[in-house]
Amino acid sequence: MIAHLPALQVAIPLFAAPLCVLLRKGTLPWLIAVAVSWVALLIAGVQLDNVIDDGPISYALGGFAAPFGIEYRIDPLNAFMLLIVSGIAAVVLPFARKSVEAEIREDQHFLFYGAFLLMLTGLLGMAVTGDAFNLFVFIEISALSSYALIAMGKNRRALRAAFTYLVMGTAGATFILIGIGLLYVVTGTLNMADLAQRLQPISETRTVLVAFTFILVGVSLKLALFPLHLWLPNAYTYAPSVVTAFLAATATKVAIYVLLRFVFTIFGVDFSFGALPLQEIFLVLAIASIVIASTVAIYQNNVKRLLAYSSLAQIGYIILGFSYGNVTGLSASIMHLFNHAATKGALFLIMGCVVYRVGSAHIDRLQGLGRRMPLTMFGFTIAGLSLIGVPLTAGFISKWYLVLGAMERGWWPVAVVVLATSLLAVVYVWKVVEVAYFRPLPEDAAEVTDPPLSMLIPAWILILATIYFGIETSLPVGISQQAAQFLFAASP
Amino acid sequence: MTEQVLLILTVLAPLVGAAGIVLIGDRPNLRESVTLITAGGLFAINIALISFVTDGGRPEVELVSFLPGASIKLVAEPLGLLFGLIASGLWIVTSIYSIGYMRGHGEKNQTRFYAYFAIALSSTMGVAYAGNLISMFAFYEVLSLSTYPLVTHAGTEEARRGGRTYIGILIGSSIALFLFAILWTWTSTGSMDFVPGGILRGKMDSLSLSVLLGLFVFGIAKAGVMPFHRWLPAAMVAPTPVSALLHAVAVVKAGVFAITKIAVYIFGIDLLAEAGSGRFFMYVAATTIVLASIVALRQDDLKKRLAYSTISQLSFIVLGAMMGHSLGIIGGGMHIATHALGKITLFFAAGAILVALHKTKVSEMRGIGRTMPLTMAFFLIGSLSISGLPPTGGLWSKWYLLMGTLEIGDYILFVVLLLSSLLSMGYLLPIVVRAFFAAPQAGGHGGVGAAVSDAEEAARPAIKEAPLFILIAMAISSAGTIALFFAPGPVARLVAQIFPDLGGL
């Protein structure tokens, strides 16, 4: 059983998804989804433990050995990713019941849970696989199910947001496919480890360079790096709250993982940073993301859209760390994958609570909510502090290593930018805090209170996680550093 | 009780108190007792730590290993102990005052007030006893955040705007400048610990040292060095007990304390003197001293005037820290004590006038000495302390600083310090004089009948003093100021412990 865990990680959600669709009514779809997510988390935890103790795990799917069979390969980086994705799912799904009841049509609930489990399958599969084409398959599974989930939002614009995402997302996935295809043509293999070996002698050829570029652009679109980010704000704003929370915490993170996998493991550090001016390109795009997205966030009147732009900025920070090209920078990026997943997950779950009670995420509807929904808005404040990067929160740890990495490189202006842009976050977080606590309640305000415990507890679990991992940092910091060192060391 | 437990308790006890306050909620007398007991206990803990520190020991406890190579740890040393004693002692006095003020003024949300007050004191203790830069930074930020609800207590539009300036400047400067300086120190030296003699010797050239020093001085905006001082007057929207403790004692003193501690334990006094890095910042501090005093002269709102006075007095301590001489540190340390006591008395009096007579403007305070003789007497004592005149302790702290400027041969600064005393007298003493010797403002105008009743009123002013608790608090702090005049020795000796080769004082 233990030996088959990598396959089970993906197989269980995959087979549970049609099961949910078959069981049309009642709470069974939700129960199955929750159970599956907890099992997935357990599996991810066990695998992380094994990888840290024994080293990378290699698993041949169906017993067919690589390079002809599909291989699942787990090293510290993707073990960590599996933990993040399944962890967020395990917290979001219990929250989902009431939220989905309020935001999605009753006759679509079973479809929701089915699609959610498919998206979970796709994301977990992307993280666990060691085969390039298998990766593409899972990319498509997660993407298609996410389009469906976004379209289930109440607002009419959800459909259009989903469609825009579909078009752009398919373009991105197609680019990735073209890249993988080109690599297959010149090497004859799709297995990642095998590709890494076979690409070394031919890395100077134009085909490989073009493949690299296609893959980079495709992945950049998936991870919403400026200027390929246009799909994200609308998708996050109009999707159902649960979907937004899950997407914000996982989808772009897994896309970043794919980037790291291609750059470090398949193409190798020397080629990737040498063939193209990758560092400079990503440095500039990352800083542009951070500055522009943070500034735009300040002017948003819909809190979900504000948080969406904030996510774009945080993705910028992650790519910034990657662009340093040193272990500190890379570990800062990986750490921020974790810290931001917890922080943004918490914030969007809180917004889910607000939408549940008030019916809208527009900032004017949050007036005076600090008094009516005290636990909810206090939670928002704490998670907001993590977004800013106040010490004793998880966000601070990532910022610490980001600045440290820049200083190690001697890139002092970058260090200044990281700190200065945190001040932009202060502005947009405080904007919401002020409205919640200082504006008087509007006269026509409905009698609202804190949401039910099934929603409050998952949100607060993530909020407490942002504080816990800001103080007891050995898990995120330790694993991130281990993963970063492994990536650099194992790079061809 | 081991010293480690005591150290942990300094941070933990107020948090427990805060939890107790929240749980007790709306039973006022019980809730206020929790505050008083916690404050008393905290003071006792600090006193218990004295013997461990004066013996030469430096009790240390590591709370959590936060990051590889950096932990949150607490270390008790003379300077921190002094700050801890003052903050906890004055918490007791301010709690007594708050009871009188909050009830006399009918303030709402008192549970929230007392709870956040306790949390703020916990983080103040954390700043006082921080064992390295990152711990200090963490507690420093928590202090800014926990005092925000106190500053914006009123919940009005004005409070919101004041709160914005407050948190904007404090968090902005600390993230952009203070944190940057900490990280720079970390990458240059591999350490963030407070070590006697400093950790920067030989690690960077003198230009970098000066820039780093500047990042610390301006990044620690709680010290009120211009131009990062605007948060102080903006924070005056807070209820007076908040202004009194936090902005005369805890928050601002955390700032100047941090700068002093960094000067002594990160840079080292000798390095500062050799590299000459402190020179420039002494003049920055001197500019703040003079400019803030001039602005204070022009303020009609009493709390604003006191706010600018605080900004001016804080730069005394900054100047002492930048001096590169032990006399500067001793003078600065003493000034932490004397200014705290003097200023808190003044703020208490301002609040008393507000509660009893509903007046906030200096121009309206003619003749109130007849209605509130005790309050104005205490105000006089506070004014004397701020001006550095006998029989108050303010004389001695100024004395050490003046001696320091002579030792380093800077006569301009000597004159600046003397000038500032004159300016302080200028913006404080006239208030007292007008209160006692000017005719009280009459209510009506014109008409023989009205004039007669005004004259009668002037002849027999009714005494309408502040509530009892407020008077008690003012009495205690004034007594402390005068006590420091007659017995400054213990305080000076405590700070001098930092310099073991100084011998007797």
Q: Do B187 and A404 touch (CB under 8 A)?
A: yes
List pLDDT tens digits, range B296-306. Answer: 999 999 999 99
Greatest CA separation for chain A: 72
Sequence-ordered list of residues with C-beta below 8 angstroms from that of A285, at least 6 positions apart, any chain: A220, A225, A226, A227, A316, A319
- Chain A contacts in chain B segment 357-386 (CB below 8 A): none
Q: Do A388 and B159 touch (CB under 8 A)?
A: no
List pLDDT tens digits, range A99-121. Answer: 998 888 888 899 999 999 999 99
Of the candidates A76, A51, A73, A75, the one whose C-alpha atom is nearest the C-alpha of residue A6 is A73
DSSP code string of A115-177: HHHHHHHHHHHHHHB-BHHHHHHHHHHHHHHHHHHHHTSSSTHHHHHHHHHHHHHHHHHHHHH
Considering only CB atoms, which chain B residues are within 8 Å of A422? 175-176
Q: Are B392 and B338 in contact (CB under 8 A)?
A: yes
Of the candidates B257, B138, B131, the one whose C-alpha atom is nearest the C-alpha of residue B194 is B131
List pLDDT tens digits, range B453-499. Answer: 444 444 455 677 888 888 888 899 899 989 888 888 888 888 888 88
Residue A389's pLDDT is what?
A: 92
- The residues facing B282 across adjacent strands are none
B159 touches chain A (CB under 8 A): yes
SS3 content of chain A, % helix, strand, coil (to 5): 80, 5, 15
Question: A131-135, B151-155, B386-390, B470-474 — which one is most confidently predicted on average?
Answer: A131-135
Considering only CB atoms, which chain B residues are within 8 Å of A471? 64, 66, 72
Q: Do A430 and B167 touch (CB under 8 A)?
A: yes
Task: Please state, in angstroms and rounded to a whole number, the distance separating the CA atoms of residues A390 and A400.
Answer: 10
Residue B260's pLDDT is what?
A: 93
List pLDDT tens digits, range A194-224. Answer: 898 888 888 888 999 999 999 999 999 999 9
Q: Are A267 and A276 in contact (CB under 8 A)?
A: no
Task: Please state, in angstroms and rounded to a whole number, the distance separating the CA atoms of residues B134 and B194.
Answer: 11
Per-residue pLDDT for A74 more than 50? yes
Q: Are A71 and A78 in contact (CB under 8 A)?
A: no
Residue A334 distance to chain B (closest CA, Å): 16
List pLDDT tens digits, range B401-451. Answer: 999 999 888 889 999 999 998 999 999 999 999 888 887 765 433 334 444
Task: Please state, in angstroms and rounded to a whole number, the distance separating the CA atoms of residues B234 and B308.
Answer: 11
Residue A91 distance to chain B (closest CA, Å): 26
List pLDDT tens digits, range A481-491. Answer: 999 999 998 88
Task: Please state, in angstroms and rounded to a whole number, the distance separating the CA atoms of residues A122 and A125.
Answer: 5
Question: What is the average per-residue pLDDT within A45-66?
Answer: 86
List pLDDT tens digits, range A385-396. Answer: 999 999 999 999
Per-residue pLDDT for B1 more than 70? no
Residue B487's pLDDT is what?
A: 86
A472 touches chain B (CB under 8 A): yes
Q: Do B183 and A390 touch (CB under 8 A)?
A: no
Sequence-ordered list of residues with C-beta below 8 angstroms from that of A432, at least 6 positions apart, any chain: A303, A306, A363, A366, A380, A384
Q: Are B166 and B201 in contact (CB under 8 A)?
A: no
Kindly list the distances between the CA atom of residue B23 and the CA atoms of B31, B33, B247, in Å, as whole numbers in the listed order: 9, 13, 27
Point out the least confidently predicted range of A266-280, A344-358, A397-411, B8-22.
A266-280
Point out the least confidently predicted range of A7-11, A222-226, B1-5, B265-269.
B1-5
Kindly list the distances between the CA atom of residue A18 and the CA atoms of A144, A201, A242, in Å, as whole numbers in the listed order: 15, 45, 20
A40 versus B502: the higher-pLDDT residue is A40
Residue B450's pLDDT is what?
A: 42
Considering only CB atoms, which chain A residues are within 8 Å of B122? none
Sequence-ordered list of residues with C-beta below 8 angstroms from that of A227, at least 6 positions apart, any chain: A285, A288
Distance of CA B383 to the CA centre of its chain: 16
Residue B300, exposed/middle/buried by CB under 10 A (0-12, 13-18, 19+)?
exposed
Residue B412 CB neighbours (<10 A) = 11
A420 touches chain B (CB under 8 A): yes
Best mutation target, A414, A473, A481, to test chain B (most B CBs within 10 A): A473
Residue B501's pLDDT is what?
A: 65
- Percent of chain B at pLDDT above 70? 94
Q: Report the residue from B160, B180, B184 with minimal CB separation from A438.
A: B160
Considering only CB atoms, which chain B residues are within 8 Å of A367? none
Q: Do A415 and B183 touch (CB under 8 A)?
A: yes
Task: Please state, in angstroms and rounded to a whole number, the distance separating the CA atoms of residues B313 and B26.
Answer: 39
Place of tokens 């007797």: B504
Question: What is the average per-residue pLDDT within B46-67?
Answer: 85
Q: Structure tokens of B16?
A: 């427990």
Residue A209's pLDDT is what?
A: 92
This prediction's pTM: 0.91
A22 touches chain B (CB under 8 A): no
Residue A488 distance to chain B (closest CA, Å): 20
Residue A138 CB neighbours (<10 A) = 23
Q: Are A395 and A342 in contact (CB under 8 A)?
A: no
Q: Do A403 and B138 touch (CB under 8 A)?
A: no
List pLDDT tens digits, range A8-40. Answer: 999 999 999 999 999 888 888 999 999 999 999
Q: Do B175 and A471 touch (CB under 8 A)?
A: no
DSSP single-letter state for residue A266: I
Angle, helices A76-103/A28-54, rounded to nearest 10 degrees: 170
> Which residue in chain B has the smallest CA separation from A467?
B66
Of the candidates B256, B257, B273, B396, the one whose C-alpha atom is nearest the C-alpha of residue B323 is B273
Per-residue pLDDT for A442 more than 90? no
Alpha helix (H) residue ranges in A223-362: 231-238, 241-246, 252-260, 269-275, 278-298, 303-323, 327-358
Considering only CB atoms, which chain B residues are within 8 Å of A481? 68
Task: Please state, in angstroms and rounded to a whole number, the distance separating the CA atoms of residues A407 and A397.
Answer: 15
Per-residue pLDDT for A443 more than 80? no
> Which residue in chain B has the smallest CA separation from A471?
B66
A438 touches chain B (CB under 8 A): yes
Considering only CB atoms, which chain A residues are within 8 Å of B160? 434, 438
A173 versus A369: the higher-pLDDT residue is A173
Of the candidates B110, B121, B107, the one whose C-alpha atom is nearest the C-alpha of residue B38 is B121
- The residues facing A362 across adjacent strands are A302
Considering only CB atoms, which chain B residues are within 8 Å of A400? 67, 183
Per-residue pLDDT for A84 more than 90? yes
Q: Do A400 and B67 touch (CB under 8 A)?
A: yes
Place of tokens 């917004």: A351
Q: Do A403 and B183 touch (CB under 8 A)?
A: yes
Confidence of residue A63 (pLDDT cuts 50, 70, 90): confident
Q: Do A438 and B155 touch (CB under 8 A)?
A: yes
Question: What is the average per-residue pLDDT within A176-182?
Answer: 95
- Chain A contacts in chain B segment 44-83 (CB below 8 A): 64-68, 72
A397 touches chain B (CB under 8 A): yes
Mean pLDDT score of chain B, rounded to an integer? 87
Task: Please state, in angstroms and rounded to a whole number, the distance separating the CA atoms of residues A221 and A164.
Answer: 13
Confidence of residue B58 (pLDDT cuts 50, 70, 90): confident
Q: Do B66 and A471 touch (CB under 8 A)?
A: yes
List pLDDT tens digits, range A411-437. Answer: 999 999 999 999 999 999 999 999 998
